[in-house]
């Protein structure tokens, strides 16, 4: 049986001619799963190093997820949903769960760095893979910037509580939010870049420490803020109706991309077929439970209307409940570490996706060049970090979070379809994890992603449409002709 993407022996073509079938065939060419796996870890001038076990992979998942929604985006979501933001977290978590099941199956079957981009390349064809990869660039790159924006808010809380100083608004907020340039957002991205340049193993160790600190900070918040809960704060529970809950859920889905980050570590895991599915599911359960717990305590301790306009809501709640600034300072310190962890792990995921796309020839080769000493794509890391840092310094948080959500949802929708396609085209492949009740569960995951995308504002769709148009121009102008599959067919 022929592998997908391979030309039949009788279809020999003259040198330089396009593949048989014309444009449509080129857009639908697939990369064989075996080739994807065989190329795992290989880059220009070196290879990635397999150094991570299930614990480190789980910590990457939690590091990329826990902190983003609860420390930063909660203040954006509560004004939409009111106390029912708890339900919004549950809805976003369930939507993430169905997609996580599909990710777990594909991560165990195709354990490579490209995440859903690579899964789409093996199942849906090159054009869809490019679209998916372009969505992942939006998802990861923009989310790094969005989280970095919130980091500056908590840094100001920490500086105010300890030194009585704050960074001036002109240097602590982007244009449109009362500032000129968000310097703290740029600094945290550059700090994450420094860790990543040291190597994947060293970055994973630093992330594990930061994850432990932020879990402790959230548990502390729940213990202290619980004493300030007032039953009246939960009524009306759903002041803006189900539409508000749905809109908040779509925004909060931004907070559930951690398991996707774990799948980008497929080429640096010691036993990816076994450990990736375990890390994905375990991290999602832990994160969802903590999100719902913290959200329930937060809206019980502070009237929902008072969340508007704040990106450091939890620290403010701690100070209101205790009447002392000490606990707010402790939480702000935990948030500074927590959000730095998110920036680190999501930035890591972004570099590995570009690494995979570059290895396939769809983006320039500089992104797959490996530094021999550290086993890290150094130029890739520097370029991505500088781009994300400047983006964080110049764009307001709300716009960044929604743009990330739509890119994430679109990529997850494609992963659910990819599971169904691979089950039908390659049923004999060994799978260390299988989605239960397939194709029902993947179809539910696909439908939920589309439903949440529909809840996003028109301006977000416009931004997404422009982003896709730019991506298609780049693909037809560069990627389609430079693709490794294209050059192999000549």
Average pLDDT over residues 347-352: 89
In angstroms, the CA 70 to CA 77 distance is 10
pTM: 0.81
pLDDT at 464: 87
Average pLDDT over residues 35-64: 80
Most trustworthy range by pLDDT among 19-33, 145-159, 220-234, 395-409: 220-234
- CA atoms lying within 13 Å on the CB side of residue 229: 18
Q: Confidence class of residue 435 from pLDDT cuts 50, 70 and 90? A: very high
Condensed to tens digits (0 to 9), the pLDDT of residues 321-342 reads 888 878 878 887 888 888 888 8
Most trustworthy range by pLDDT among 2-16, 183-197, 392-406, 475-489: 183-197
**Residues whose CB is less than 8 angstroms from the CB of residue 410 and which lie 6 or more positions away in sequence, other chains included:** 132, 135, 449, 453, 464
Q: Sign (positive/negative) of CA torsion 215, 216, 217, 222? A: positive
Average pLDDT, the chain: 83
> pLDDT over 90 for what percent of the chain?
21
pLDDT at 10: 37
> pLDDT over 70 for what percent of the chain?
89
Q: Do residues 56 and 204 lie in contact, with contact meaning Cβ atoms separated by under 8 Å?
A: yes
Condensed to tens digits (0 to 9), the pLDDT of residues 141-167 reads 777 777 777 777 778 878 887 888 888
Helix (H) or strand (E) holding 415: helix 397-425
pLDDT at 12: 39
Decide if pLDDT at 13 tops 50: no
Helix (H) or strand (E) holding 303: none
Most trustworthy range by pLDDT among 41-45, 158-162, 289-293, 388-392: 289-293
Decide if pLDDT at 443 tops 90: yes
Decide if pLDDT at 473 tops 90: yes
In angstroms, the CA 52 to CA 42 distance is 17
């Amino acid at each position: 049986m022929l592998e997908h993407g391979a030309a039949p022996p009788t279809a020999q073509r003259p040198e330089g001619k396009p593949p048989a079938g014309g444009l449509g065939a080129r857009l639908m060419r697939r990369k064989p799963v075996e080739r994807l796996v065989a190329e795992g870890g290989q880059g220009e001038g070196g290879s990635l190093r397999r150094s991570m076990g299930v614990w480190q992979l789980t910590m990457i998942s939690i590091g990329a997820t826990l902190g983003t929604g609860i420390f930063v985006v909660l203040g954006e979501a509560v004004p939409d949903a009111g106390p029912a933001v708890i339900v919004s977290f549950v809805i976003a978590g369930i939507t993430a769960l169905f997609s996580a099941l599909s990710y777990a199956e594909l991560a165990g079957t195709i354990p490579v760095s490209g995440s859903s981009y690579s899964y789409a390349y093996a199942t849906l064809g090159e054009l869809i893979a490019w679209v998916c990869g372009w969505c992942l660039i939006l998802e990861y790159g923009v989310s790094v910037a969005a989280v970095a924006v919130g980091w500056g808010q908590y840094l100001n809380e920490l500086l105010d509580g300890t030194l009585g100083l704050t960074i001036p608004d002109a240097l602590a907020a982007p244009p449109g939010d009362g500032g000129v340039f968000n310097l703290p957002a740029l600094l945290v991205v550059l700090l994450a870049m420094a860790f990543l340049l040291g190597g994947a193993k060293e970055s994973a160790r630093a992330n594990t420490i930061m994850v432990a600190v932020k879990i402790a900070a959230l548990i502390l918040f729940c213990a202290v803020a619980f004493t300030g809960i007032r039953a009246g704060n939960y009524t009306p529970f759903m002041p803006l109706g189900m539409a508000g809950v749905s809109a908040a859920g779509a925004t909060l889905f931004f907070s559930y991309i951690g398991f996707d980050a774990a799948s980008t570590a497929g080429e640096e895991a010691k036993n990816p077929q076994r450990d990736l599915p375990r890390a994905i599911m375990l991290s999602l359960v832990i994160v969802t439970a903590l999100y719902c717990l913290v959200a329930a305590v937060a809206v019980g301790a502070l009237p929902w209307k008072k969340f508007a306009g704040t990106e450091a809501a939890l620290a403010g709640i701690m100070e209101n409940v205790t009447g002392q600034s000490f606990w707010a300072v402790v939480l702000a310190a935990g948030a500074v570490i927590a959000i730095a962890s998110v920036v680190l792990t999501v930035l890591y995921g972004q570099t590995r996706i570009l690494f995979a796309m570059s290895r396939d020839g769809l983006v320039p080769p500089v992104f797959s060049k490996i530094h021999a000493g550290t086993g890290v794509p150094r130029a890739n890391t520097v370029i991505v970090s500088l781009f994300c840092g400047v983006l964080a310094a110049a764009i307001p948080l709300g716009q960044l979070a929604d743009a990330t959500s739509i890119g994430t949802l679109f990529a997850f929708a494609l992963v659910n379809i990819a599971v169904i396609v691979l089950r039908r085209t390659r049923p004999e492949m060994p799978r260390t994890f299988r989605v239960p009740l397939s194709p029902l569960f993947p179809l539910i995951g696909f439908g939920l992603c589309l439903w949440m995308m529909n809840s996003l504002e028109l301006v977000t769709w416009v931004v997404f449409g422009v982003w896709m148009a730019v991506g298609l121009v780049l693909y037809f102008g560069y990627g389609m002709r430079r693709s490794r599959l294209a050059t192999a067919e000549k």
